[in-house]
Amino acid sequence: MKSIQILPAVLLLPALVHAQTKYTVKGKVGKHNEPVKSYLVYTVDGDQKRDSAFLKNGEFSFSGTVPGITKATILFSYGPDAPRSSNEQLKIYLEPGTVTIKSADSLKNASVKGGIHTNDQVALDALLKPVGERNKALMARYYASSQEQKKDSVWMSAIMAESKQINDDEEAILKKFAESHTKSAAGLEALKAMAGSVPDYATIQPMFAKLAPAVQSSPDGKAYAEMLEKVKAVSIGAIAPDFTQNDPEGNPIALSSFRGKYVLIDFWASWCGPCRAENPHVVKAYNEYKDKNFTILGVSLDQPTAKDKWLKAIADDGLTWPQVSDLKFWKNEAAALYAVRAIPQNFLLDPQGKIIAKNLRGDALAAKLAEVIK
């Protein structure tokens, strides 16, 4: 009986593997003609795809197939002589059926209708628009301020408090949307935005698990699930995955070679302003604890042609601890292993190689070392 039950599922596998989603996008924006041009941009298996079409009396269209529900962007260019600010874009999903885009004048004023995924994305964008405008106004106020104001701790505290409130409000919107739109890819998009570049596995994984199977199995869903598994592998309490990369002289250094010491894995790069600003704090902590069974392994995300900049930054910032890199930029293999999607990031390991803290900034690193190193 088991063989009879299994056989149909096996026969269905090729159809599932090769399943394609047919999509159609149709638009009517004003009465524009060439050189106004529309673009459809999306990603399949890590490769960016781009289609384009000139407008004819405001009309444009795209159609094709993609491997599952796929996030896409529609962009408009009003021609080589148009100001850069006139280029516009909006987010949609390539899904079964037709997505329609209509406007009397421009893409930024367009109404968008499609299937559940696109319609929910439109709803999410509308919910986020007010907080986006608040943040834009705050940034404009900050950049328009005088140097005296920026040196005023009371004024800066008020700016930071307002910024935090905007971020908190945005996170609340994203969380509520993700929890109430589990059947659409826009719900996944809200969850990803809420999680940010350094997701907390304990918080995000249970929410991801509540998404509909079709959303989890979409190309975007599968990619995010894989990323979450990497995050789990480097969560606090996990044994840090081992890796080996070369130092500036070409000598291989393995993370496991530091077993028996407290180790800070510090992901950074010479081109990263926040990393360079953080380095004085790291140097201070290193100098205080380097003789107390503590060391640092710096992992640089510098580019293939920028070894000289990496070396100069090491010297300029006084980074006297071991440094390694494969000079693969964002494709650094150690960074991929640790699900690093933003820098600076760091991981503090105990002498047994267990991760005991993450992303210690400023004085927090020295405070944590004082706590654990007796």
Q: Tokens for 294, please give them.
A: 């503590």
Query: Average pLDDT of 53-68?
Result: 95
Let me know if 59 is exposed, middle or buried by CB neighbors in 10 A (0-12, 13-18, 19+).
Answer: middle
Q: How far apart are CA 354 and CA 306, in angstroms?
A: 32
Query: Average pLDDT of 231-250?
Result: 96
pLDDT in tens, 255-274: 999 999 999 999 999 999 99
Q: Which residues pair with 60 in a beta bridge?
A: 27
DSSP, collapsed to helix, strand or coil, labels residue 65 as strand
pLDDT in tens, 91-113: 999 999 999 999 999 998 999 99
Confidence band for 86, pLDDT divided at 50, 70 and 90: low
Cα dihedral sign for 63, 67, 69, 74? negative
Q: Is the pLDDT of residue 18 over 50?
A: no
pLDDT score at 82: 65
pLDDT score at 8: 38
For residue 281, the tally of other CB atoms under 10 A from its CB is: 16
pLDDT in tens, 355-369: 999 999 999 999 999
Query: Average pLDDT of 48-63?
Result: 96
Nearest to 328 by CA among 320, 316, 336: 336
Q: Which residues pair with 94 in a beta bridge?
A: 70
Confidence band for 88, pLDDT divided at 50, 70 and 90: confident
Q: Is the pLDDT of residue 1 over 80?
A: no
For residue 156, the tally of other CB atoms under 10 A from its CB is: 14
**One-letter amino acid for residue 325 of the chain:** S
Q: Is the pLDDT of residue 2 over 80?
A: no
Which residue has 């008020």 as its token pair? 158
- pTM summary value: 0.80
Q: Say what percent of the chain tops pLDDT 70.
A: 93
